[in-house]
A and B are shown apart, each in its own frame.
Chain A
Amino acid sequence: MNLHQIIVESINQAAANVFATMLGGDLGPGTDSVAVGAPESTDGVVSFIGIAGSWAGTGGLSLSSSMACAICSQMLMTESTAVNEEVLDAVAELTNMIIGGVKTDLESHVGPLGLSIPTVVFGRNFRTRSVGSTEWIVVRFPWNGEELVVKVSLVPNDKAYQHHHAAPQACAIEI
């Protein structure tokens, strides 16, 4: 099994485990694909968590506002009808648990890894983009008519360093 397959399997297991224990529901198997650094238009909630060690990168979730509210409601046993601090905090913790599970699985293959504190972004029609030609492993899970997207990008740490320390290039400003 190569690292791609290991990450896909880890994402599936971690996400299913988190949904079963914290939300009391089943999450079906996800559909995996690979995305290469393409900007992605987003509406809703996006979260990121940094991964560092002998391999480095980012893990994250993407989901609609209504799904974020539904998850928060089930997780905290409250009624969340709009994205607020509580909903964003629940998504951050969901990210922490899912990517944390992936990180724990990966440690047996690539050695110790550390996680950053999660960052959560909420808005309409915004784009997320990673530096360089980073390859993302993307797993999409259907849930109650909505979709939870889990992404992980991981490269050997020397390559991660090159990605983030490339020579600066001139950039025209579009007005």
Chain B
Amino acid sequence: MEFDVLVVDDSAAIRKILQRVLRQTGMTIRSIHEAGDGQQALAVMSANHVDLVLTDINMPNMDGLQLLASLKAAAEWRDIPVVMITTEGGETKVAEAVRLGAAGYVRKPFTADQIKEKLAGILELALPL
């Protein structure tokens, strides 16, 4: 399967790193879209097919938890796995992300192997590799 992935982070540096890491995972990537916050992410989702979302939590305008809630509330997007990638290690935010339906959670700083391991586990369930 070829994946269309959306990377959401207000840091261009992290978006760039995640793009590199995604291409190292062994997944067949068809496209990687970028967004700098939740609002931009929803606009990208409306205009493009997306199979997987990787998103930060702390972002301006619309944060990752609000984005997650919006995606899970929309019939056409609710089955798309959303992985939270963030410095937020507090149990409150993690619990909120899980409650809202996040498929997984990776804490920054991360290694390529951590991302790969997390995605392998999630995509076996949601979108078989």
A and B physically associate: yes
> Footprint of B on A, CB under 8 Å?
17-18, 21-22, 72, 75-77, 85-86, 89-90, 92-93, 96-97, 100-101, 103-104, 107, 112-113, 115, 117
Asked if A100 and B10 sit within 8 Å, CB to CB, the answer is no
**B88-122 interface bits toward A, Cβ cutoff 8 Å, 1 = contact, 0 = none:** 11101000000000000000111100000000000
B16, closest chain A residue (CB): A76
Give A43 to B89 CA distance when docked, in angstroms. Answer: 33
Asked if B16 and A100 sit within 8 Å, CB to CB, the answer is no
Asked if A100 and B12 sit within 8 Å, CB to CB, the answer is no
Chain B residues with CB below 8 A from A18, complex form? 109
Asked if A104 and B89 sit within 8 Å, CB to CB, the answer is yes
Asked if B39 is at the interface (CB within 8 A of a chain A CB), the reply is no
Asked if B87 and A97 sit within 8 Å, CB to CB, the answer is yes
Give A22 to B60 CA distance when docked, in angstroms. Answer: 23
Chain B residues with CB below 8 A from A100, complex form? 87-89, 108
Asked if B89 and A117 sit within 8 Å, CB to CB, the answer is no
> Which size bracket describes the interface of B in this complex?
20 to 34
Given B87, B92, B109, which contacts A21 in the complex, CB threshold below 8 Å?
B109
Q: Is chain B's interface secondary structure helix, strand, loop, or mixed overall? A: loop
Asked if A21 and B110 sit within 8 Å, CB to CB, the answer is yes
> Footprint of A on B, CB under 8 Å?
10-14, 16-17, 20, 58-60, 87-90, 92, 108-111
Chain A residues with CB below 8 A from B111, complex form? 21
Asked if B11 and A22 sit within 8 Å, CB to CB, the answer is no
Asked if B90 and A22 sit within 8 Å, CB to CB, the answer is no
Give A76 to B17 CA distance when docked, in angstroms. Answer: 6
Give A72 to B58 CA distance when docked, in angstroms. Answer: 21
Chain A residues with CB below 8 A from B59, complex form? 117
Asked if A89 and B92 sit within 8 Å, CB to CB, the answer is no
Chain A residues with CB below 8 A from B88, complex form? 100, 104
Asked if A89 and B109 sit within 8 Å, CB to CB, the answer is no
Known contacts A21-B111, A77-B20: does B12 contact A115 (CB below 8 Å)?
no
Give A92 to B108 CA distance when docked, in angstroms. Answer: 13
Chain B residues with CB below 8 A from A97, complex form? 87, 108-109
